[in-house]
Amino acid sequence: MAVSPSSISSLELTISMPGFSSSPPFPSSDLDINQLPSGTGEEEWITAGVEDEEESTNGGPPRKKLRLSKEQSRLLEESFRQHHTLNPRQKEALALQLKLRPRQVEVWFQNRRARSKLKQTEMECEYLKRWFGSLTEQNRRLQREVEELRALKVGPPTVMSPHSCEPRPASTLTMCPSCERVTTTGLDKGSTKTTTTAVAAPTTAATLSSKVGTPALQSRQSSAAC
């Protein structure tokens, strides 16, 4: 599974496979994530309120939550568009540029990847729902069609067999009960042609089916046994 990160936008809906380069995590004993970076500039730190005093009296640092500035967010997004993962150098450079700690940049990228994936999953879910709906509709239509054909009760066209000189059906339409596909049995000895009526899956579905078995794919796989 490969993805070209360079072509991915911030809300890209392709599957992202993370790269394998990032910096080692900074243990909290080495670097307190809530500690203000030296020379802090643009980021906005918010103190949490009442409990802070209790914590600070207990020896712990007051809890603070970082709010990234618009400019920091913009730069991070821009960077994310170029790479979904950062190698240690990139992370270091970005952290320096943003006046953040590398760990914070790393965390931001992790969360950003998670958000991307969530968004993608939601859209895939929507897509599959719609696809299912259209397949159901098509199935209904085809079943109606079959019923109508049966209702006609017209005998199939006959031809003369070259061997027995007896009339026999030119072809017979049958439907597989499990996969509900129409099978045409022709004249030739043992020639059974299966007519595929599957809906052509759009590109997105093709992408999906590479990850999970789509209904069409599963249908195709199951009907292979017919």
Partner DNA sequence: GCATAAAAGCCTATTACCTCA
Partner DNA sequence: GTTGAGGTAATAGGCTTTTAT
**Which residues lie near DNA (CB under 7 A)?**
16, 18-25, 28, 32-34, 46-49, 51, 63-68, 73, 85-86, 88, 103-104, 106-108, 110-115, 117
Q: Which is nearer to DNA, 159 or 212 (by Cβ)?
A: 212
- Amino acid letter, 174: T
Nearest approach, Cβ of residue 116 and DNA (Å): 9
Q: Which is nearer to DNA, 47 or 138 (by Cβ)?
A: 47
Q: What CA dihedral angle connects 18, 21, 27 and 33, to 10 degrees?
A: -70
Given the DSSP bridges, would you call strands 64-67 and 44-47 parallel, antiparallel or unpaired?
Answer: antiparallel
Q: How many residues does the chain have?
A: 226
Q: Which H/E stretch holds residue 44?
A: strand 44-47
Angle at 87 between CA 82 and CA 90, to 5 degrees: 65
Q: Which is nearer to DNA, 29 or 164 (by Cβ)?
A: 29
By the 8 A CB rule, do 84 and 18 touch? yes
Q: Which is nearer to DNA, 119 or 140 (by Cβ)?
A: 119
Q: Which is nearer to DNA, 115 or 150 (by Cβ)?
A: 115
Nearest approach, Cβ of residue 63 and DNA (Å): 4
Nearest approach, Cβ of residue 48 and DNA (Å): 4
Q: What CA dihedral angle connects 30, 89, 78 and 44, to 10 degrees?
A: 30
Q: Which H/E stretch holds residue 113?
A: helix 102-152
Nearest approach, Cβ of residue 189 and DNA (Å): 50
Nearest approach, Cβ of residue 11 and DNA (Å): 11
Q: Which H/E stretch holds residue 169?
A: strand 167-169
